[in-house]
Amino acid sequence: GENVEQHPSTLSVQEGDSAVIKCTYSDSASNYFPWYKQELGKGPQLIIDIRSNVGEKKDQRIAVTLNKTAKHFSLHITETQPEDSAVYFCAAGRPGGGGNKLTFGTGTQLKVEL
């Protein structure tokens, strides 16, 4: 089955700096790569996703890049703000089959310091 590795497990940045979180996956059949943000005491919430026919996608201060050949994808957050502090999860899946099943990475605790 699919295996997703995520690094780093914790990341501390100064407000206004950029943050980068990296993930690798093992199943070449995976073609959908979402990123979820989880705030304390809440369920994960989708912030951005990318399909395998796209190399990069941007949404305001967040962007995701995908390298299918190397089987890795990354989340980039620019101009970080204190409200970006949360746990971020990457995931990989094959939508449409098996209820949109996802395999998640182990999470990155991002702390944005003032």
Partner 1 sequence: NAGVTQTPKFQVLKTGQSMTLQCAQDMNHEYMSWYRQDPGMGLRLIHYSVGAGITDQGEVPNGYNVSRSTTEDFPLRLLSAAPSQTSVYFCASSPRTSGRPYEQYFGPGTRLTVT
Binding site for partner 1 (CB under 8 A): 1, 4, 6, 9, 32, 34, 36, 41-46, 49, 89, 93, 95-96, 98-107
- State how far Cα 103 lies from the chain centre: 12
Q: How far is the CB of 38 from partner 1 (least distance, A)?
A: 8
Q: How far is the CB of 100 from partner 1 (least distance, A)?
A: 5
Which residue lies nearer to partner 1 by CB, 78 or 87?
87
- DSSP assigned state of 95: T
- Whether the CB-CB separation of 58 and 78 falls below 8 Å is answered with no
Q: How far apart are CA 88 and CA 29, in angstroms?
A: 23
- Whether the CB-CB separation of 48 and 59 falls below 8 Å is answered with yes
Which residue lies nearer to partner 1 by CB, 11 or 32?
32
Which residue lies nearer to partner 1 by CB, 77 or 88?
88
Which residue lies nearer to partner 1 by CB, 85 or 107?
107
Provide the phi-psi class of 71: left if phi over 0, else alpha when psi is between -120 and 50, else beta. Answer: left
Q: How far is the CB of 13 from partner 1 (least distance, A)?
A: 21
